[in-house]
Amino acid sequence: MSRALFIIDVQNDFTEGGALGVDGGAAVAADTTRYLERAFGDYDVVMASRDWHDPEGDNGGHFAQAGTDPDYVVTWPPHCVAGTAGAEYHPGLDLSHVTMHVKKGQGEPAYSIYDGEVEGGASDGATVSAVLEERGITEVDVVGIATDYCVRASVLDAIEHGRHVRVFTDLVAGVARESSDAALLEMGHAGAVLVASDAD
């Protein structure tokens, strides 16, 4: 049995003070770091994703057009623009145990880690699905931001790709309580195990 950890979008723009900051985002960064300090040996792959949007254009309709308000469902304010501080990982997330990085949303909407490309090393440019297949990954644990959007999409895609998935409920943060609770319920119904990171 081979296991991967997905760290979803723990970026400055998705944490407190960012363009789309969520409450608890900085805590997810710090707590994920603490978790990895004790558990990194459990994983064959530790994969961290980032939104990485183009600075020009609306990224396939993902950014609200100038002069219009975002609907926060399909269109959003500009965020995680490539090369900006907002697109960088939150400084509370220690990257020393991350073995692969994934950039997603380069010119188009992208919520799931499966929508991105692996960056660096022998797997540069590969899809997440291809890397997991190549390495025989059967189990995936998921942490990150935001519970009700990119965490949800990544979990559902991992299940659809035949992986057994755990969501660490103490290492995620969402945009809103109601939609986050609904997303966790949906993930659980799809087959994800919802559990605290310190559960046996």
Q: What is the 3-state secondary structure (H, E, C) of 18-67?
A: CCCCCCCHHHHHHHHHHHHHHHHHHCCEEEEEEECECCCCCCCCCECCCC
Place of tokens 């609904």: 182
| Longest Cα separation, the chain | 51
Q: Is 104 designated active site?
A: yes
Q: Considering 9, 51, 115, 141, which one is annotated as catalytic?
A: 9
Tokens of 54: 């183009």
Q: Considering 103, 115, 148, 150, which one is annotated as catalytic?
A: 150
Q: Considering 13, 80, 103, 104, which one is annotated as catalytic?
A: 104
Q: Is 141 designated active site?
A: no
Place of tokens 């309580």: 177
Q: Is 103 designated active site?
A: no
Instruction: Give catalytic residue positions.
Output: 9, 104, 150
